[in-house]
Amino acid sequence: MSEVETIKAYPFLLNGEWQNTTSERTIEIESPSGAETPGAVQAMTESEVNAAISGANEAQKNWARKSFDERAQVLHSWADQLLLMKDEIAEAIMKEAGKGLSSAEKEVVRTADFIKYTAEEGKRLHGELINGGSFNAGSANKFALVNRNPIGVVLAISPFNYPVNLSAAKIAPALIGGNAVVFKPATQGAISGTLMIEALDKAGLPSGLVNLVTGKGAEIGDHLITHPLIDLINFTGGSQTGKSISQKASMVPLILELGGKDPAIVLEDADLDKAAADIASGGFSYSGQRCTAIKRVLVQDEKADELVAKIKEKMNGLKVGAPEDSADVTPLINSKAADYVTGLIDDAVEKGAEVASGNQREGNLIYPTLLDSVTKDMQIAWEEPFGPVIPVIRVESVDEAINIANESEYGLQASIFTKNMEQAIQIGNELEVGSVQINGKTERGPDHFPFLGVKSSGVGGQGIRKSIESMTREKVTVLNMTQG
């Protein structure tokens, strides 16, 4: 038997059947650590993709007629199945995304919680009745019944960094809202994605309601996003890909969760221990491969030396190494990503940044790196590394911090560290971001909070309730009473 034949190739779920592609082509998943491949997935053909979309379109009609309670039962059962498969799924996340094992396990548990909350939140969804007579020229005999209806087939495209959680964060709200889903996981994330769909299948998923599409985005991506039976696209990934989707997809509602350059703004009265701890964990956990990672520090000059010293101290507590050892900082997803981060560090150092800590590399593993005295002419001041490097930019005033924060093309989240709540709220109001964290690191959760980005960070809103609302649409039925 040749080496290729021993690699496990995972099938895809198409209209209730687990299948291999007729193309006979598979894609071997890379290991970020350079270990042996965790397996392969099918490179589906365009006609298989078409069958996935039209099957979902068919299945949706029946699902839309189900009560919220019936849909919720499937979701609850899915969450239970995921927990039963926790070890297997966490191992897949660890191997293909390079995530520390304990974080991978937490991702599965967080996902089960997410799905259960979504099931219950769906049951609480309700419409409203509007009396026409409340408008000056309206009639008291006219009423609008406003209900929320499914949109149809949702195309869910998820990223490598949370291959289970960010997939379920699209699929579960879409399903409770009465939609069908065509799910395209990131290639490095497709095994975890396949296993979570196996759990959903075991939970009693109606045939075709969620179809799994695997393959290279470069080969089938455009076909998926321009298919006429796709009614909504929900994508998480890089801003460039998000922009390209928004240009190609015509007249289809979009939810895009994209990149970020979240600043931690540290004022002179801040609790520096707390700020340093949050910056170290917010910037370096999972090697900074999170859209919400802290990606720059804007600190008032007077406190910069002290803050940098404290961040360095906190960095000593980070575990650097193998995903199997549940390290915080593990090898980046691939060598291209690691080269990009190295390039940003080199550019900053060449232009005069000081390496306060780190700047060491072994394969795709980049040690947590803190760059001090970063200036606006350096790429790292503006670009999103998606890796374990934090630039510290020293500022003279609060206004300068706000200006630099807003000069970014991104607008996901921002942290403000200060004891002055009133000033924090004022600064928060000035920041062009979706969420402001006062005295806390930037992060998406808890998952029922609204989550959105502005500018290049995204379009539309998510967070459990918001996601259900974003993937349903209002339907207005007007009652014209003949008897007043």
Ligand X SMILES: O=C[C@H](O)COP(=O)(O)O
Count other Cβ atoms within 10 Å, centred on residue 379. Answer: 16
Amino acid at 133: G
Count other Cβ atoms within 10 Å, centred on residue 8. Answer: 11
Binding flag, residue 292, ligand X (CB under 6 A): yes
Residue 257 annotated among the catalytic residues of the structure: yes
* Among residues 71, 148, 170, 290, the one that binds ligand X under rule CB under 6 A: 290
* Of residues 292 and 357, the one with the C-beta less far from ligand X: 292
- DSSP string spanning 170-197? HHHHHHHTT-EEEEE--STTHHHHHHHH
Binding flag, residue 291, ligand X (CB under 6 A): yes
Stretch of 29-37, 44-52, 270-278, 286-294 lying at the interface with ligand X (CB under 6 A):
286-294
CA distance 122 to 395: 46
Per-residue contact flags (x/-) with ligand X for residues 297 to 326, judged by CB under 6 A: ------------------------------
Judged by CB under 6 A, the number of residues near ligand X is 9
* Among residues 60, 111, 161, 435, the one that binds ligand X under rule CB under 6 A: 161
CB 33 → ligand X: shortest distance, Å? 20
Stretch of 261-269, 287-295, 307-315, 317-325 lying at the interface with ligand X (CB under 6 A):
287-295
* Of residues 78 and 160, the one with the C-beta less far from ligand X: 160
- Window 223 to 252, contacts with ligand X (CB under 6 A): none
Whose CB is nearest to ligand X?
Answer: 291
The conformation of residue 155, written as its DSSP 8-state character, comes to: E
Q: What are phi and psi of 482, to 5 degrees?
A: -85, -20
Count other Cβ atoms within 10 Å, centred on residue 454. Answer: 14
CB 381 → ligand X: shortest distance, Å? 21
Q: Which of 257, 384, 443, 469 is catalytic?
A: 257
Please work out, in degrees rounded to the nearest 5, the angle formed at the alpha carbon of residue 155 by the alpha carbons of 153 and 156.
Answer: 130
Please, are residues 198 and 17 in contact by the beta-carbon 8 Å criterion? no
Written as six digits, the tokens of 18 are: 């687990």
Binding flag, residue 443, ligand X (CB under 6 A): yes
Please, are residues 345 and 371 in contact by the beta-carbon 8 Å criterion? yes
Please, are residues 298 and 329 in contact by the beta-carbon 8 Å criterion? no
CA distance 344 to 333: 17
CB 447 → ligand X: shortest distance, Å? 8
Pairing of strands 254-257, 458-459: antiparallel
Binding flag, residue 371, ligand X (CB under 6 A): no
* Of residues 121 and 447, the one with the C-beta less far from ligand X: 447
CB 219 → ligand X: shortest distance, Å? 24
* Among residues 95, 444, 455, 465, the one that binds ligand X under rule CB under 6 A: 444
* Of residues 383 and 443, the one with the C-beta less far from ligand X: 443
Binding flag, residue 446, ligand X (CB under 6 A): no
Binding flag, residue 71, ligand X (CB under 6 A): no
With CA atoms as reference, report the closest residue to 210 among 253, 239, 173. Answer: 173
* Of residues 105 and 443, the one with the C-beta less far from ligand X: 443
Q: Which residues pair with 187 in a beta bridge?
A: none
Q: Which residue has the tokens 């193309």?
A: 23
* Of residues 113 and 313, the one with the C-beta less far from ligand X: 113
CA distance 276 to 359: 19
Count other Cβ atoms within 10 Å, centred on residue 370. Answer: 26
The conformation of residue 29, written as its DSSP 8-state character, comes to: P
Stretch of 98-106, 326-334, 371-379, 443-451 lying at the interface with ligand X (CB under 6 A):
443-451
Q: Quickly count helices (H) and strands (E) in the chain.
A: 14, 25
Binding flag, residue 363, ligand X (CB under 6 A): no
Stretch of 12-20, 161-169, 191-199, 301-309 lying at the interface with ligand X (CB under 6 A):
161-169
* Among residues 133, 352, 445, 446, the one that binds ligand X under rule CB under 6 A: 445
Per-residue contact flags (x/-) with ligand X for residues 121 to 160, judged by CB under 6 A: ----------------------------------------
Please, are residues 385 and 408 in contact by the beta-carbon 8 Å criterion? no
* Of residues 364 and 435, the one with the C-beta less far from ligand X: 435
Written as six digits, the tokens of 155 are: 């195309």
CB 443 → ligand X: shortest distance, Å? 4
* Of residues 278 and 443, the one with the C-beta less far from ligand X: 443
Nearby residues of 218 by Cβ (< 8 Å), 6 or more positions away:
none
Q: Which residue has the tokens 């289809």?
A: 252
Binding flag, residue 111, ligand X (CB under 6 A): no
Give the footprint of ligand X on this chain (CB under 6 A).
Answer: 161-162, 166, 290-292, 443-445
Catalytic residue positions, numbered: 257
